[in-house]
């Protein structure tokens, strides 16, 4: 770890835009990394192009983050960010367009103008769920439309639920939701393309209806979501499915375009990192949903952030 220097400004502020560590992304992974990094006495900067919290702020209720009980996602994000500020973590709004190596340092290039230099970088930019782009989606997003059954499924116990999608994620989450909901309807643009055994298990459930080859047209509702309207791509017939909640699983998009030049992404655009969150690029670490991993949850993101910060601190110490 970095040794204490009484002349060093440990708030992380740098008039020359040079830091020990720059963390890109202020979701749970990035904020956890910032907490661990500043406690390791690193001069750091936390960056995000949007409000701190990442996808958490779009979650109506979080019920599986230890110690909080049931909490609004935005409230949890605020609490995390307030903790970083109490510890003195500097935060800036910035859209990172590239990270490049120069003179033994990492240069973090931002669209807004500044370029920050750092000995190490943690990338925690996460993912964005793909959206349908149909009427009503934006209105009910984060309220009655969710992208995480593990996060939000419990509030639909004994209610009518719709899942949109037919891939592995859609089928796996449908199996989970079917055990909670009164009735589950699956709407998919093609047929079910998930593991055949999982598909057979889903089809066999008595409270599940599957409509294949359906194009979603709109989400219907006034004060609250009431139904989903879809049209068969084969016959043109329309169906209106009454529901109290919708879960969309039509894919995720990793926020990794700015890092393609580093050679750390897999064929799907996610960061490949080892058990200590280190990538193939020296001094560059990945954390949270941007990493190729099996489970994307708040707790796993926090785990990644803590490991990445510890690994980055050791890397920075090795440069001396």
SS3 percent helix, strand, coil of the chain, rounded to 5, is 30, 30, 40
CA distance 27 to 265: 20
Paired residues of 117 in beta bridges: 18, 107
Q: Residue 185 CB: number of other CB atoms within 10 A?
A: 24
Asked whether the beta carbons of 220 and 240 are under 8 A apart, the reply is yes
User: Among all residues, which ones are annotated catalytic?
Assistant: 148, 151-152
What's the angle, vertex CA 292, arms to CA 84 and CA 42, rounded to 5?
A: 30
CA distance 285 to 279: 5
Look-up of token digits 């990035």: 30
The torsion angles phi and psi of 305, rounded to 5 degrees, stand at -65, -40
Asked whether the beta carbons of 290 and 127 are under 8 A apart, the reply is yes
3-state DSSP call for residue 180? coil
Give, for 35, the enclosing helix (H) or strand (E). Answer: helix 28-39
The torsion angles phi and psi of 224, rounded to 5 degrees, stand at -150, 165
CA distance 111 to 299: 31
Paired residues of 104 in beta bridges: none
CA distance 96 to 112: 9
| Token pair of 303 as six digits | 């785990």
Strand boundaries in 10-155, DSSP class E: 18-24, 44-48, 91-93, 96-102, 105-110, 115-123, 127-129, 145-146
């Amino acid at each position: 770890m970095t040794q204490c220097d009484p002349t060093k400004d440990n708030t992380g502020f740098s008039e020359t835009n040079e830091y020990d560590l720059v963390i890109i992304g202020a979701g749970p992974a990035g904020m956890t990394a910032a907490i661990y990094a500043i406690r390791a006495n690193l001069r750091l900067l936390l960056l995000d192009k949007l409000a701190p919290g990442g996808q958490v702020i779009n979650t109506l209720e979080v019920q599986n983050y230890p110690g909080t009980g049931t909490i609004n996602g935005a409230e949890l994000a605020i609490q995390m960010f307030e903790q970083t500020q109490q510890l003195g973590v500097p935060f800036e709004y910035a859209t990172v367009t590239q990270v490049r190596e120069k003179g033994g340092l990492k240069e973090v290039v931002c669209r807004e103008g500044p370029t920050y230099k750092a000995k190490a970088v943690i990338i925690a930019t996460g993912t964005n769920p793909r959206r349908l782009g149909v009427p009503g989606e934006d209105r009910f997003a984060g309220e009655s439309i969710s992208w995480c059954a593990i996060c939000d499924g419990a509030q639909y116990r004994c209610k009518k639920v719709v899942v949109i999608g037919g891939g592995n994620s859609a089928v796996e989450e449908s199996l989970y939701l079917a055990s909670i909901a009164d009735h589950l309807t699956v709407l998919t643009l093609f047929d079910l393309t998930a593991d055949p055994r999982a598909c057979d298990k889903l089809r066999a459930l008595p409270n599940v209806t599957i409509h294949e080859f359906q194009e979603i047209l709109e989400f219907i509702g006034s004060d609250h979501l009431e139904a989903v309207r879809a049209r068969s791509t084969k016959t043109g017939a329309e169906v209106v499915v009454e529901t109290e909640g919708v879960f969309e699983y039509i894919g995720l998009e990793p926020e990794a375009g700015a890092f393609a030049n580093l050679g750390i992404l897999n064929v799907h655009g996610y960061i490949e990192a080892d058990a200590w969150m280190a990538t193939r690029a020296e001094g560059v670490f990945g954390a949270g949903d941007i990493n190729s991993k099996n489970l994307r949850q708040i707790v796993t993101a926090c785990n990644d952030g803590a490991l990445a910060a510890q690994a980055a601190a050791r890397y920075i110490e090795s440069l001396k």
